[in-house]
Amino acid sequence: MSVRAIRGAIQVEANSVEAIASGVKELLPAILLANGIVTDQVISVLLTATPDLNADFPAASAREVGFGSVPLLCATEIDVPGALPRVIRAMLHCEISVLPSEIKHIYLKGATALRKDLAQ
């Protein structure tokens, strides 16, 4: 087993509790599924949100989809002029036995524009 980082992002429709929750509940399970892992393999998760998303903490919704015993941290992304709005990003640190080149980073909805080389 090795410790690996898996990235992902999703653009949500609005700055609302519901939209943030929906985005997190779509993104995190998609990352797990694509990489064939379960939350027991996740060491920690860093969640960021663009400055325009402040209606709720993304970690609150992560707990609702099985990340209750995983250390979670939320932060605000740097407010870069012209950056894609309403984006939640995640970096999961996991114990998995795959090569870095085999990791599937997941970018959903409008966030596919962030990493077209990796988008699903």
Active site residue 4: no
Which one-letter amino acid corresponds to residue 110?
Answer: G
Active site residue 86: no
Tens digits of per-residue pLDDT, 99-119? Answer: 999 999 999 999 998 876 654
Q: Which residues pair with 8 in a beta bridge?
A: 90, 106
Active site residue 77: yes
Domains of the chain: 2-113 (3.30.1330.40)
Q: Enter the pTM of the model.
A: 0.94
Q: What is the C-alpha separation between 47 and 16, in angstroms, rounded?
A: 17
Active site residue 102: no
Q: Which residues of the chain have pLDDT under 50?
A: 119-120
**Looking at residue 118, what is its pLDDT?**
58
Catalytic residue selected from 4, 86, 89, 94: 89
Active site residue 115: yes
